Chains A and B, each alone.
Chain A
């Protein structure tokens, strides 16, 4: 495992944990299934993932006198979120005394609180600024890991999968260096049928034999050529010592006279 891969795994783990922690209070989206199973016979129907119109339709078909309370209120949606792109995340009965941001109906029916959210976009491969823009277009904010990712880093993981319903909380996303593009697949080799392969093999053998013959012929010629390089003449070089003078010995000028113990007699060789 390379350092880059290990770092990405660690970031992904951090994002996952952070996502679970942050999404815990607003875990309507992933818990939609179990909620259905736990709903009582008098509970309103699950409207998870439905838009405003469908949510109203479903709830009113459940009880015509229903009082629908949206959170956040439709008039106070975060910037970027509109009635056209928000969806219901979860819903539930609330007590009569609950303060409601907006009552859809003035009737005295059951009061249902519908928590709104957005469909999560796919942020993978986007830079920080791109990811923030995409999220802001839906009223969402980014919670990057690390806090200030380098400019060239991209989203390598996000806490909520694409198209899941996420409520208006900061969306955790992990950033990392962009992955190197995968090497191009090797070009498909030519398909060779058996007869063609046999023919190629035979041709290669023939070529090999031809080359061997040419090389051996060249070697023979080269040897013959070297043989021809021998001189036609018979040349001999004899060395002779010649005249020898010396060795002769001289006292150098200025040298003091020779001393000897006992004093030497003059003898010339």
Chain B
């Protein structure tokens, strides 16, 4: 699977830290850090702000395609097809999926240590919603080997301490972002085997 990250969805080629720091809501984040910032020297304050904005870039590296596939693995129709086709190596089913939605929420956080002592925690909310149009998935031997249709509208949002920082929506074509090759294992045990092989 090719990687499409939430970072790319939200910020494109821009630096996430710089993009977030340019938003009006960034002031709210800094005010939340006020208690810590006031105890720091001016160079220390500058370093803390730079470190936080840099860390935000690492928080948004969530892979959108991985979330999409993770959702499909939970889809009862695909899961059932995987169960049915697993016993027979030549077993193949085509499953029509109606429009469906895949959601995930991540709540990463940053711990701020000053001189080895934890001084603050900054909480973030990273929400991802994928609306997938009607599609036909081909399941072969418990693996998703082909997809027809399934245009995917991705909505990503990033917030900090309840304050929205960034939000953006893009449309993905599964045919362009999915690298099916030998197929995507749909059952948990198969995934573990595939992961151990890789």
Contacts and interface: CB of A to CB of B under 8 A. Distances in A.
Contact of A237 (B52, B81, B84, B104): B52
B93 A238 contact: no
Contacts of A24: none
Contacts of A84: none
Interface residues of B, number: 57
Contacts of A234: 114-116
B51 interface: yes
Nearest to B111: A238
B101 interface: yes
A256 B115 CA distance: 59
A235 B47 contact: yes
The 7 closest A-B pairs by CB, nearest first: A246-B104, A255-B98, A231-B44, A267-B80, A231-B43, A237-B51, A264-B80
A106 interface: no
A243 B106 CA distance: 6
B3 interface: no
A1 interface: no
B111 to A, nearest CB: 5
Interface in B71-118: 71-77, 79-81, 83-84, 93-116
A235 B84 CA distance: 55
B59 interface: yes
B111 A264 contact: no
A268 interface: yes
B67 interface: yes
B105 A244 contact: yes
Contact of A245 (B105, B123, B131): B105
A147 interface: no
A256 B98 CA distance: 6
A131 to B, nearest CB: 75
A202 B52 CA distance: 56
